[in-house]
Amino acid sequence: MLHGQLTITRPGPLSTLQDAGRFGVRHLGITQGGPADVQAWAWANWLLANHWGSPALEITLGGLSLTAEQHCRLALCGADMQAHRNGEPLANGQAFTLAAGDILTLGMARSGVRAYLAVVGGFIAQPILGSTACVMRDQLGGHLGDGSKLAAGDTLVFSPALSERNIPDRHLPAHALPDYGAEPTLALIPGAQCRFFDDHSLINAFSQPWRVDPRSDRMGIRLQGPMLHCNIDNLISEGLALGAVQVPPDGQPIVLLNDRQTIGGYPRLGTLTPLACARLAQCQPGQSLSLTTTTAAQAQAEYRHFRGALNTPS
């Protein structure tokens, strides 16, 4: 058999296939997709010595159950979803093996929001516009190519031959195991429109706590806190980057994530860094956080350090 399979018996609320994302098509109105928490996704692939961009499963909130049809080597990182293999507890943040017939079950997330399940070599799916990233709103990518989330009876395909290769025994460094229950401080690069917010709003934005609104998804995460006021009445729609912090008329910011629209006309406080977006993606509804300012140079240095750590020998 050329391909191995994992059969989904219980998909959970939202489980989708994600590679690094879909780029070079935003001028067509198509967003990037990709993992909401790029760090946990990347470390899951790193545990298996996969190349950057290898498709892995993003599991939101938990509730997943699957059966291995063939022997395979997997890794699980991100939110703690009380993983079990054949009823026995399975530690998070490590690689493990499933034999044919083994059952992997995930409970509901008790810390964090999203977990990432990787397989040696990455899951196999047909790229759409150069990527397998699932974007449900655009009906693109994913395991079926049409933007579908996993459903009971679906299968995830992999190469069983790759699971037989000699993979170095890797263990996550301490900094790759964040405390998702702790209140994070998220770094924001102030934007050109930041100066149009009044002084009171700017002071509150960076000195007062924010809470994650339950009305949040892969398009954007709403924040609840002090009302921000911008003196711009009209704004021509502009392109939107990952992490853009829009402030609509109600004064409550929306942090735009991977499945965001490609343009928008609300004023922006600035842009969260990619690593801040990853941390925000693990904040549960109601969780508190704070914002701090950074520079583009600092954000780039931090991201290069993160990518460099993935390339260090085990």
**Side-chain-facing half-sphere of 11: CA atoms under 13 Å:** 15
pTM of this structure: 0.96
Distances (CA, A) of 207 to 82, 171, 244, 290, 298: 35, 37, 19, 7, 21
* Interatomic CA distance for residues 312 and 295, integer angstroms: 26
Other Cβ atoms within 10 Å of 100 Cβ, number: 12
Closest to 310 measured CA to CA, from 200, 208, 175: 175
Q: What is the pLDDT of residue 160?
A: 85
User: Could you tell me which residues are beta bridge partners of residue 255?
Assistant: 221, 245
Give SS3 for 69: coil
Tokens of 186: 């998220």
Q: What class does CATH assign to 185-310?
A: mainly beta
Q: What is the pLDDT of residue 299?
A: 98
Query: Phi-psi region for residue 91, left (φ > 0), alpha (ψ -120 to 50) or beta?
Result: beta
**Contact (CB, 8 A) for 248 and 266:** yes
For the chain, what are the domain ranges? 4-176, 185-310
User: Could you tell me which residues are beta bridge partners of residue 65?
Assistant: 10, 105
**Side-chain-facing half-sphere of 59: CA atoms under 13 Å:** 30
Residue with tokens 């009906």: 139
Q: What is the pLDDT of residue 11?
A: 97
The amino acid at residue 208 is Q
Q: What is the pLDDT of residue 174?
A: 85
Closest to 111 measured CA to CA, from 147, 82, 71: 82
Closest to 119 measured CA to CA, from 51, 198, 48, 21: 48
Full strand arrangement of the beta sheet holding 64-68: 88-89, 84-85, 103-105, 64-68, 4-11, 155-158
Give SS3 for 234: coil
Q: What is the pLDDT along the chain (314 residues), one digit of tens a residue?
A: 478 999 999 999 999 999 999 999 999 999 999 999 999 999 999 999 999 999 999 999 999 999 999 999 999 999 999 999 999 999 999 999 999 999 999 999 999 999 999 999 999 999 999 999 999 999 999 999 999 999 999 999 999 877 667 777 888 988 888 899 999 999 999 999 999 999 999 999 999 999 999 999 999 999 999 999 999 977 899 999 999 999 999 999 999 999 999 999 999 999 999 999 999 999 999 999 999 999 999 999 999 999 999 984 43
**Contact (CB, 8 A) for 41 and 59:** no
Q: H/E element holding 68?
A: strand 64-68
**Contact (CB, 8 A) for 290 and 210:** yes
Distances (CA, A) of 246 to 3, 30, 46, 121, 249: 44, 19, 33, 38, 10
